[in-house]
Amino acid sequence: MIKRVRKAIFPVGGLGTRFLPATKSMPKEMLPVVDKPLIQYAVEEAKAAGIEEFIFVTGRGKQAIEDHFDYSYELEETLRTRGKNDLLAQARDVVLGAGAIFYTRQQEPLGLGHAVWCARALARDEPVAVLLADDLILSRKPVLAQMVEDYDRVGGNLVAVMEVPREHVSRYGILHPGAERGRMVEVKGLVEKPKVADAPSNLAVIGRYILQPEIFAHLELKQKGAGGEIQLTDGMARMIGHGPFHGHRFEGTRFDCGDKVGFLEATIAFALDREDIREGLKRRLGALLLDGSK
């Protein structure tokens, strides 16, 4: 029987050094794309996929994330007395249900696999979704919901995948692909950040996963992989051959918000997708680009 995915893990313990000084005292996951923090996009995507329990693996200095998903009485009262009902509704909408949100800490930056492992007691014996907020995807249907549709038919493990330029494979977890069926690709192997010459393909894992609870036992081994870190990819690789394991070629455009140019690109793409901003931005961008080309 295929167990429904009800829980999602959000690893948000990273230091965000690439965005210093902005991230000196602010979590990188709170950086806004247009007017919404990165982490809120990920949470909304999880909600749209039917997730009921939200597990954050945080670290020191990340309290702003907890506050963001809580009520803000002072703000709400001010918006109410000023009659700003739309903004009030938005502020209240962000709040996750009582008892549906959990925080645990990754005390040391030992890798993504370790971060996920830190959530083992909260995940219990259920399949979990894992969402990396740095990977922001503009799509018609949210990516996790696309994946859940496949998962509900085939079960097992599922990772979001996309083709990347060959010269970029060493930035990603890379798939050794097998048979293809629709958007699904059978996973025959997984390797974290391979050298270009050693990569089994240019099909990269993007930060959306649906994993069976066995992952925690594999991560428990705490074996160090690429970059000396405990890698989620290595834990997943150990599950290949023990039940269905697929890559899901998602519909949508992915932006790497862990990178400055990717983040700016996302900001512009998401702004252009917004009716209230599009025309104004286009005019100003056009003028800026003309100016810059002088």
- Residue 215: how many other CB atoms lie within 10 Å: 24
Among 131, 204, 211, 219, binds ligand G1P (CB under 6 A): 204
SS3 131: strand
Among 43, 122, 131, 132, binds ligand G1P (CB under 6 A): 132
Among 45, 233, 250, 263, binds ligand G1P (CB under 6 A): 233
Residues 235-294 that bind ligand G1P (CB under 6 A): 258
Q: Is beta strand 36-37 parallel, antiparallel or unpaired with respect to 32-33? A: antiparallel
- Kindly tell me which of 79 and 258 has the beta carbon lying closer to ligand G1P: 258
Q: Is the Cα dihedral 175, 199, 221, 161 positive or negative?
A: negative
Among 9, 131, 169, 206, binds ligand G1P (CB under 6 A): 206
**CA atoms of 187 and 18, how far apart (whole Å):** 32
Q: Which stretch binds ligand G1P (CB under 6 A): 67-75, 119-127, 180-188, 228-236?
A: 228-236
Residue 132 Cβ vs ligand G1P, minimum distance, rounded to whole Å: 6
Count CA atoms closer than 13 A to 238's CA, side-chain side.
18
156 touching ligand G1P, by CB under 6 A: no
Provide φ and ψ at 202, rounded to 5°. Answer: -115, 25
Residues that bind ligand G1P (CB under 6 A): 112, 132, 135, 172-173, 192, 204-207, 231-233, 258
